[in-house]
Structure 1
Amino acid sequence: MPKIKKLKYISLFSGAGLGCFGFKQEGFECVATVEIMEKRLKFQKFNNKCKFESGYIGDDISYSSTKKKINTELDKWSICEQNPLDVLIATPPCQGMSVANHKKGNELIRNSLIVESIKWVMEIQPKFFVFENVRSFLKTPCTDIDGENRKIGEAIELNLSGKYNILPTIINFKYYGCPSSRTRTIVLGVRKDLKEVTPYDILPAFNENTLTLRNTIGHLKPLKNMGDISSEDIYHNFKNYSPAMLDWIRNIKEGESSFDNEDPEKIPHKKNGPLMIFNVNKNGDKYRRQYWDKVAPCIHTRNDIISSQNTIHPKDNRVFSIREVMLMMSIPNNFSWTDKSFEELNRLSLSEKKSFLTQNEMTIRHSLGEGVPTIIFQQIAKKIKQYLDTRPLDLTIIKKIIEKFNLKDPGILHQFIIDKVGDHSYASLSKIAELANTERTDNAAYYTRQDICYSIVNDLPSAQKHKIFRILEPSIGVGNFLPLLIEKYRHVGQVIIDVVDIDSNSLKIFSLLNQSLNIPHNFKINVINDDFLLHHFENKYDLVIGNPPYKKLTLANSKLDEYKRKAFNYDTNNVFSFFIEKALRLGNIVALIAPKSLISTPEFNKTRYLLQSKNILKIVDYGEDGFKGVKIETISLIISSKPKKPYNRIKIESYITKQVYFKDQEYVTSDKFPYWLLYRNEFFDTVSCGLKFNVFSAFRDRQIKKVHTKSQGKIRVLKSRNIASNKIVNIDQYDCYVDDTSNLTVAKYINHEHAILIPNLTYNPRACFLPKETITDGSVAILTIKNGNRKITESDLQYYSTAEYKKFYTIARNYGTRSLNIDKNSVFFFGILQQ
């Protein structure tokens, strides 16, 4: 049996380790835990959280000495890029909420501890990270790494979302397995190199059937007298309070407060001589008896006093015992608050038990009030472990499965899905189905990974104010967006999804796959087997989302004229452009995946013009990472179809540079340049100021193929590798020739006096003049100067080989790898130096 690799995590600001105990329960090893309060750190030691004693770090995380200790532990476990940490957990105190700011030097640093957490994620780059905090966490201001003040949510996004898919969400834990109400912010991060997993996949499961207080603590024995301690459980105790308060709560019923008493003597008060000064009932939840048959209340730090929020037992005249609070916080019975065993504690005499509680009860209760329910982190740990232990099927394995079971036969494929619904994840089954579907290539449909879908769905509008939310997916395929749309919109009143596909087999597979999804009752799915571009839709939609086919139609295609009849861009025959236009007519928000060529090539000039008249909300540049096995660069766009508003900001997310930033739409789509520039920056603008653009026309041969050339001949045919800066390079067994150029369009450039040669499809631009008696094939662009421009010199051509111009050109070509043809748009950027 191979040795199972233990999963590892680090916990920052770990308190008593209540939440982290869930990771221990799931078999994770703790590399290091950082908690500045020694009493709470001891609780972690009692539970043997760390393998090494040095893993318990009781220092201020902002100190350099603390950072050294953490790094020492990472080294001890050989944590590095090749052996990455699995999870980083951080539950930092949020100083700014209490206006408890402090200064470092001359600068006000707000919420520096959350920024420290962000820095550690950036440095360690764990596979997953988990932040947990109060409801207002994301909107609280902090001073970010760059010294700018911004909201915590924005700081997390700007610093981490380049490398992580991130879900910031506010949830009530009572719907996620915790037996008490507790509304908190959870931020889940999944590293983008982990395929087929999204933050939704590690979020605890939603369950609207909550546990009641009776379900949670009803089995415990009543405690009627102050000071009572259960003989079976030292932590089930009646905490003392002032006897004068007993009359205040003695007769109140479930849901009632002492402030509801009619007798003034029984209303919470203080006496100042003969004067009775009544306490203030600020929140309406103090001195209030709880309901047996409702979910347990939120546990606060001061759960030890009856004057605090929602602390009074439904029947007994007391606050909840430690054990009851533990159960309400889902803390397992095997969690230890001391180095003594539970059995040892229960064998203590009554006076010894009281002494133990006197020394420890307040620290325990405060730790409970400020902790994370164990069940929440345990579910996250379990889901992370499940993913890492059973990675999704890769392309090679899927191809073998398809071949082994003959899944290209639709009937066999359908039965396979029915049989395997419980054995494989939705992502694996949909991938098998998409790749096995024999119609896939003809319809130009390709499997869209769940993590790619997430990069779009995560930034869609929340729709919380909608009673009915209508979604259209115009080319559903086997339905890869559906699981994430369910997670995104499960709390909306009613969600109606119309799904369309021209392929009936794909729709059959879609229906079968849905059996593995827990589709909420508020979702209604309508299936339409038709051509989206020709189908008449009765409704407008709040959202149109999908991955339309990328396919050029030939003039012989009978539908092309119909498709173009309503097209704004009739210069293209590519189906996806028609999909974009119709989606904009039908949807308020349009979110589509498209080829990266959309943002730059002449073929889509009109499509870009149409898109930039709307509000572009987000663009993701996947480069070649979007679709494995398909040699195409892709992007996704989220567009508001309403007319563009002034100063609209685009969120740009790059899988290439691993960065996220916000830019003005006018800046990205500026008409100073022939197409959109996603990576335009100050450096690009500075170089642009020194260049005169739009001075050349470009030509590339489309006729010469390898079969037409030979190793010797009258006219040399230059290819990309022959071109160097201001010279031609001879290459043995690479150089080629032709004898007859009479039928070649490129022949018109033979002996052209000022023609310039630049290799096509390269990030290594270089240029030289066209030599006598030569032509080029399609791997080289021929540039000729437009009228009115000065004579080009070798110094001009030399500039194209400089480091400055190469960096500039990389930005000008949007970091492309395949969409690098030199055409009438991109030739614009071969400027000449201003004189």
Structure 2
Amino acid sequence: MSHGTVVDLFCGAGGLSEGFRQAGFRVLAGCDFDDTAGKTFAATHPEATFLGGRIQDVTVAQLLRVTGLKPGQLDVLVGGPPCQGYSVYNHQRGVDDPRAGLFREYLRLVKGLKPRWLVMENVAGLTSIADGGIIREIEEGMTSLGYKVDYKILKAEEYGVPQERRRIFFIANRVGAPIEFPVPTHGKNLKPFVTIWDAICDLAPVENGGKEEPQKYVAAPRNPYQAELRGNRTTAPNHSAPKLGSVNLERLKHIPSGGSWRDIPYDLLPEGMKRAKRSDHTKRYGRPRKTDLACTILTKCDIHWGAFIHPEQDRAITVREAARLQSFPDSFEFSGSRTEQYTQVGNAVPPLLGRAVANKLIDIDALKADKAVA
């Protein structure tokens, strides 16, 4: 049974739409400028049409044609306009950055498609840019098109994702339904957080710089998380480690579980880090404990920038391990070069977080239908 239809703007590899699909929605189309991510989306969403190219060139007529819908019939328009122009790391460019205007393209398509619900996600740092100016513009834009809107910062780990990740979600509708956000399922007095080791311990050991080929699992699924992400697969794709140079391998030998750059002997530190305060760069060259949550998965799982060293092996985490920490099923095979694969994983909304949001919309719609009947 389908709970409704979805179009995903700025879909990337399809993390948000995968969450909606897992909740029972039918994904009809996805749009993205990144053709390599589009290949991943197309391969993993065979029921949907992928539209490449600039969002500015995507028309309402085109989306109605490929979905077979009329204005007002689409149930949910989802998407995360790229945020580099207004991420927490880029205060200078703020509102004037052309990329910051991409949410206006989202609103342009809302105006023509008239979906029942809107779900837009972005970096949590959006709240601090231009004193909240972008937040206000998004709210005012949605309100002016007849939508009731609210937003909240959600923590991925509270919904079963084995990673500390904060994202802002705007939820809006034009059908008079209340706006509610999913209630956390994991954390204190709830289910325990899913740890790094819960997520990856069934994946085969791999060599630093080993060759790219699907790897057999080393054990039966050891917990429900692994069982769900594996499905009926017998091998894990995208599970090969990038090649680290000899000086980095030497550094890794000194970093214990829970350790970081501070454990590297001074003479082995990169030049730029020899002057660093010990209170700085806390995640650099981090080797997380098995019982930790992963740090935020970035578009580069570079050990120089974060805690991306494998808990046991002297290597960086693989694309598949990063995907597991983002809650992607192993059936997702990421296209392109390894660099492009890491980018697709790091840019994505964790599917389990998307699914929690999707399930909340289903609950609200069911409640609204019950009230209408009553």
* Band of TM-score, shorter chain: 0.7 to 0.9
Aligned to 2:193: 210
Aligned to 1:365: 342
Question: What's the offset of the Cα at 1:279?
Answer: 7.1
SS state at 2:169 partner? strand
Aligned match for 2:270, one of 259, 268, 271: 268
Structure number with higher relative contact order (C-alpha < 8 Å, ≥ 6 residues apart): 2
Q: Check whether the contact 1:249–1:258 (CA below 8 A) recurs between aligned residues.
A: no
Q: Check whether the contact 2:8–2:29 (CA below 8 A) recurs between aligned residues.
A: yes
Aligned to 1:154: 136
The answer to which structure has the higher strand fraction is 1
SS state at 2:120 partner? strand
Aligned to 1:60: 54
Aligned to 1:237: 240
Aligned to 1:323: 320
SS state at 1:393 partner? helix
Aligned to 1:313: 310
Unaligned 5+ residue runs, structure 2?
Answer: 217-235
Deviations 1:375-414 (A, max 9, x none): 111222233345546753246x54xxxxxxxxxxxxxxxx
Aligned to 2:257: 254
Matches within 5 A, 1:661-676: none
1:221 aligns with 2:215: no
Aligned to 1:292: 290
Aligned match for 2:18, one of 21, 31, 47: 21
SS state at 2:170 partner? strand
Tell me the distance in 1 between the aligned counterparts of 2:125 and 2:266. Answer: 38
Question: What's the offset of the Cα at 1:284?
Answer: 2.1
Tell me the distance in 1 between the aligned counterparts of 2:261 and 2:266. Answer: 10
Q: Check whether the contact 1:38–1:58 (CA below 8 A) recurs between aligned residues.
A: yes
Aligned to 2:219: none
Tell me the distance in 1 between the aligned counterparts of 2:126 and 2:298. Answer: 17
SS state at 2:77 partner? strand
| Aligned AA (1:250) | K
| Aligned AA (2:269) | I
Aligned to 2:369: 392
Tell me the distance in 2 between the aligned counterparts of 1:96 and 1:75. Answer: 33
State the TM-score, normalized to the length of structure 1.
Answer: 0.38
Aligned to 2:63: 73
Tell me the distance in 2 between the aligned counterparts of 1:174 and 1:6. Answer: 25
Tell me the distance in 2 between the aligned counterparts of 1:126 and 1:244. Answer: 54
| Aligned AA (1:79) | L
Q: Check whether the contact 2:238–2:333 (CA below 8 A) recurs between aligned residues.
A: no
Aligned to 1:471: none
Aligned to 1:493: none
Matches within 5 A, 1:3-22: 7-22=4-19
Aligned match for 2:155, one of 172, 180, 196: 172
| Aligned AA (2:297) | I
Tell me the distance in 1 between the aligned counterparts of 2:329 and 2:215. Answer: 19
Tell me the distance in 1 between the aligned counterparts of 2:325 and 2:130. Answer: 32
Tell me the distance in 2 between the aligned counterparts of 1:27 and 1:394. Answer: 22
Tell me the distance in 1 between the aligned counterparts of 2:170 and 2:252. Answer: 40
Question: What's the offset of the Cα at 1:280?
Answer: 4.8
The verdict on how the C-alpha distance between 1:283 and 1:251 changes in structure 2, with shifts beyond 3 A counting, is closer
Question: What's the offset of the Cα at 1:227?
Answer: 1.7
Tell me the distance in 2 between the aligned counterparts of 1:76 and 1:313. Answer: 43
Q: Check whether the contact 2:297–2:326 (CA below 8 A) recurs between aligned residues.
A: yes
SS state at 2:149 partner? strand
Q: Check whether the contact 1:166–1:199 (CA below 8 A) recurs between aligned residues.
A: no
1:115 aligns with 2:104: yes
RMSD: 2.9
Q: Check whether the contact 2:120–2:171 (CA below 8 A) recurs between aligned residues.
A: yes
| Aligned AA (1:249) | L
Tell me the distance in 2 between the aligned counterparts of 1:72 and 1:371. Answer: 25
Question: What's the offset of the Cα at 1:220?
Answer: 2.5
Q: Check whether the contact 1:254–1:290 (CA below 8 A) recurs between aligned residues.
A: yes
The verdict on how the C-alpha distance between 1:131 and 1:177 changes in structure 2, with shifts beyond 3 A counting, is same
Q: Check whether the contact 1:258–1:266 (CA below 8 A) recurs between aligned residues.
A: no
Tell me the distance in 1 between the aligned counterparts of 2:268 and 2:262. Answer: 8
SS state at 2:121 partner? strand
Deviations 1:724-772 (A, max 9, x none): xxxxxxxxxxxxxxxxxxxxxxxxxxxxxxxxxxxxxxxxxxxxxxxxx
1:382 aligns with 2:343: no
Tell me the distance in 2 between the aligned counterparts of 1:211 and 1:127. Answer: 34
Deviations 1:615-654 (A, max 9, x none): xxxxxxxxxxxxxxxxxxxxxxxxxxxxxxxxxxxxxxxx
Tell me the distance in 1 between the aligned counterparts of 2:249 and 2:331. Answer: 34
Deviations 1:315-349 (A, max 9, x none): 111111122111100001222335xxxxxxxxxxx
Matches within 5 A, 1:349-360: 360=337
Question: What's the offset of the Cα at 1:169?
Answer: 1.1
**Identity value in percent:** 22
Aligned to 1:671: none
Select the structure of larger CA radius of gyration: 1
Q: Check whether the contact 2:20–2:355 (CA below 8 A) recurs between aligned residues.
A: yes
Matches within 5 A, 1:782-821: none
1:33 aligns with 2:30: yes
| Aligned AA (2:19) | G
Q: Check whether the contact 1:190–1:199 (CA below 8 A) recurs between aligned residues.
A: no
Aligned to 1:138: 127
Q: Check whether the contact 1:330–1:375 (CA below 8 A) recurs between aligned residues.
A: yes
Tell me the distance in 1 between the aligned counterparts of 2:161 and 2:354. Answer: 11
The verdict on how the C-alpha distance between 1:260 and 1:136 changes in structure 2, with shifts beyond 3 A counting, is same
Tell me the distance in 2 between the aligned counterparts of 1:224 and 1:5. Answer: 43
Q: Check whether the contact 1:96–1:141 (CA below 8 A) recurs between aligned residues.
A: no
Aligned to 2:224: none
Matches within 5 A, 1:76-95: 77-80=67-70, 83-94=72-83, 95=85
Tell me the distance in 1 between the aligned counterparts of 2:95 and 2:136. Answer: 21
Tell me the distance in 2 between the aligned counterparts of 1:102 and 1:296. Answer: 31
Question: What's the offset of the Cα at 1:225?
Answer: 4.9
Question: What's the offset of the Cα at 1:251?
Answer: 2.4
Deviations 1:410-451 (A, max 9, x none): xxxxxxxxxxxxxxxxxxxxxxxxxxxxxxxxxxxxxxxxxx
Unaligned 5+ residue runs, structure 1?
Answer: 143-149, 271-276, 339-358, 399-835
The verdict on how the C-alpha distance between 1:57 and 1:204 changes in structure 2, with shifts beyond 3 A counting, is farther
Tell me the distance in 2 between the aligned counterparts of 1:33 and 1:231. Answer: 30
Question: What's the offset of the Cα at 1:101?
Answer: 7.3
Tell me the distance in 1 between the aligned counterparts of 2:282 and 2:258. Answer: 11
Q: Check whether the contact 1:18–1:331 (CA below 8 A) recurs between aligned residues.
A: yes
SS state at 2:56 partner? coil
Tell me the distance in 2 between the aligned counterparts of 1:102 and 1:132. Answer: 17
The answer to which structure has the higher helix fraction is 2
Tell me the distance in 2 between the aligned counterparts of 1:77 and 1:176. Answer: 31
Tell me the distance in 2 between the aligned counterparts of 1:212 and 1:109. Answer: 38
Matches within 5 A, 1:619-768: none
Question: What's the offset of the Cα at 1:28?
Answer: 2.6
Tell me the distance in 1 between the aligned counterparts of 2:120 and 2:139. Answer: 13
Question: What's the offset of the Cα at 1:124?
Answer: 2.5
1:198 aligns with 2:198: no
State the TM-score, normalized to the length of structure 2.
Answer: 0.81
Question: What's the offset of the Cα at 1:310?
Answer: 1.1
